[in-house]
Amino acid sequence: MSDARPTLRDLDRCFGGAIPMVMATTSADGTPNVTYLSRAHKVDDERIAISNQFMSKTSRNLAANPRASVLLMDPITHDEYRISLVYERTERRGHVFERLRTDIDVLASLTGMQDVFRLRAADIFRVVDIRVLPPNPAGTYLPPPPPRDPVGDLAAMAEISARIARAGDVDVIVDVALDALDQLLGYSHSILLLVDEEGRTLYSIGARGFASDSVGAEVALGEGLVGMAAARCSPMRAGHLGQMTKYSNSMRSGYEGSVHAVREVSLPVLNGAQSRLAVPAVTAGELVGVLVVDSVDPVAFGPSDEHLLSIVASQLAAAIEHERALERDDGPTRPSSPAPPRSQGSPLSGPVGPELVFRFFPVDGSVFLGHDYVIKGVAGRILWSLLRHHASDGRVDFTNKELRLDPTLEMPGFKDNLESRLILLKRRLDEHGAPVRIEKTGRGRFRLHVAGALRLETNDV
């Protein structure tokens, strides 16, 4: 730290919400008030905005005495600053308000409070003095990490673009993109979710770096940080999740009784995750999915990560939509790889081996193998349809086109994501080591492998 007075630009990391800020104000009779702040943002080089939710006493004090004092701490170096402020105005709309509102919504979403806990106003203050508090020499100084290398990132982006462009179907696109994020940009924990046909739910189609099941997890649009990124088509970023969740839980307890239980979200969880960034994957003005990265680093992601991942997400969206369009146009007019001859004696083919009891629940399209849940929804109905055909006549080769015409799948007529659903089903079966597998045999064609004798049961309850 140099001897020069710090400026607001030096304090950027302090506004990330990692370490709670402290604010003191004074009433007309000189009685001080001191409280923690939920969020603050830098407005420009001379002003900051502070979220105003519960600060009724602070608001009254500011009306009597516009001066305030705030303690901020850099979450990496642990340098602490005291800034002196003068209250200028309150905003209830506009750019600054929206930035703070997004932060508050992210905070609230961590405990399902997004419909209850909302920003009332953004109080704008002019900064009149910034002082760095003398750090205790007994503590260890950790220098901030170097910024990302823009030239290296640009080269990585070019390589990722090339790899995605070379990928021939959605299955490959997903794998190539997630692998490249890890290998070329260092995002080793990532999830890609796609929007369902109704535009209400996201389902995970692929992930890297998670120990738990990663395919088929569902998130409602608007729910949590990931769902909000989809609903708003805007990147959502949170660091120091432990701190933020703690604050959000504290707010939640204050609303006891007015918060509805949140549906359990089964997205894969990175053990000890402290940072999450979710960016929408949009093409031609349409949301295709959400790309999510996690890290155990409390201050892992910043604006440059948002920019990088937004580019990758857009390319992913465009590539996936392109493949879907080709697949929907499909049919005999498009060149496709010829299906290989029906395999004979494959270890996964034929009605030999153990009895495989599959149960189907029409109410939600869920399929169980024995007592183990496999998949539900459109992908579940597809699996059930394939199993019924195989059980009745031993068929193993299928086409997307015939599936589209199958009324039992309840596919939306105007636009389906059949290919994505098939990939989801294929990955889910692979991930579980199921005795039933799907193998792609060409564009719009696939083969069912069954390692056992099927027994199919339908539960109508």
Partner 1 sequence: MLDRGCGLIVGVTTPEGEPQAERAWAIRVVDEASKRIRCTMSADDERVVAGLRPGRTIAVTGADVRTLAAVQVKGPITWSGPADETDLALMAHQSDLFLEAIHEVDRNPVEQLRRMLPIEVISVEFDVVEAFDQSAGPEAGARVTSA
Residue ranges in contact with partner 1 by CB under 8 A: 18, 20, 22-26, 30-36, 38, 54-57, 61, 65, 67-71, 73, 75, 77-80, 82, 84, 131, 133-142, 240, 242-243, 246-247, 249-255, 272, 274, 298
Q: Residue 21 or residue 193: which is nearer to partner 1 going by CB?
A: 21
What contacts 449, CB < 8 A, 6 or more positions away?
346, 348, 349, 396, 436, 437, 438, 439
Q: Which two structure tokens, joined as six digits, stand for 322?
A: 């392109």
Query: Which SS3 state, helix, strand or coil, does residue 107 take?
Result: helix
Describe the crossing of helices 303-329 and 150-166 by its angle, rounded to 10 degrees.
10
Q: How far is CA 396 from CA 188, 362, 427, in A?
A: 37, 23, 18
Task: Between 23 and 438, name the residue whose CB sits nearer to partner 1.
Answer: 23
Residues 6 or more apart whose CB falls under 8 angstroms from that of 245 comprise 110, 111
* Of residues 25 and 417, the one with the C-beta less far from partner 1: 25
Structure tokens at 198: 């109704």
What tokens does 316 get?
């992913």
Burial class (CB in 10 A: 0-12, 13-18, 19+), 15: middle
Pick between residue 129 and residue 402 the one whose CB is nearest to partner 1: 129
Minimum CB–partner distance for residue 254 and partner 1 (Å): 2
Rounded to an integer, what distance in angstroms lies between the CA atom of residue 310 and that of residue 157?
A: 11
Minimum Å distance from CB 256 to partner 1?
9
- Residue 452's Cβ-count burial label (10 Å; 0-12, 13-18, 19+) is middle
361-367: long-range contacts at Cβ-Cβ below 8 A with a sequence spacing of 24 or more? 361/459, 361/461, 362/458, 362/459, 362/460, 363/460, 363/461, 365/410
Q: Residue 205: CA atoms inside 13 Å, Cβ hemisphere, count?
A: 31
Residue among 133 and 155 whose Cβ is closer to partner 1? 133
Residue ranges of E strands in 332-403? 355-361, 366-369, 372-375, 397-399
Nearest distance from residue 264's CB to partner 1, in Å? 23
Query: Least distance (Å) from partner 1 to the CB of residue 334?
Result: 53
Residue whose structure tokens are 């007019």: 333
- Residue 86 Cβ, how far from partner 1 at the closest point, in Å? 10
Smallest separation (angstroms) from partner 1 to the CB of 400? 48
Shortest distance, position 70 Cβ to partner 1, whole Å: 6
Q: Where are the beta strands (DSSP E) in 285-385?
A: 286-295, 355-361, 366-369, 372-375
Pairwise CA distance, residues 300 & 277, whole Å: 9
Which ranges of 81-145 does DSSP label H, i.e. alpha helix?
95-109
Q: Would you say 241 or 379 has its CB closer to partner 1? A: 241
Q: Smallest distance from the beta carbon of 30 to partner 1, in angstroms?
A: 5
The CB-of-116 to partner 1 minimum distance in angstroms stands at 10
Nearest distance from C-beta of residue 453 to partner 1, angstroms: 52
Specify the residue, 51 or 400, whose C-beta has the smaller distance to partner 1: 51
Q: Nearer Cβ to partner 1, position 31 or 458?
A: 31
Tokens of 346: 């494959």
CA-CA distance, 322 to 170, in Å (whole number)?
9
Q: Judged by CB, which is closer to partner 1: 49, or 317?
A: 49
Tell the smallest beta-carbon distance from residue 159 to partner 1 (Å).
Answer: 33
Nearest residue (CB) to partner 1, 247 versus 358:
247
Q: Which is nearer to partner 1, 16 or 377 (CB)?
A: 16
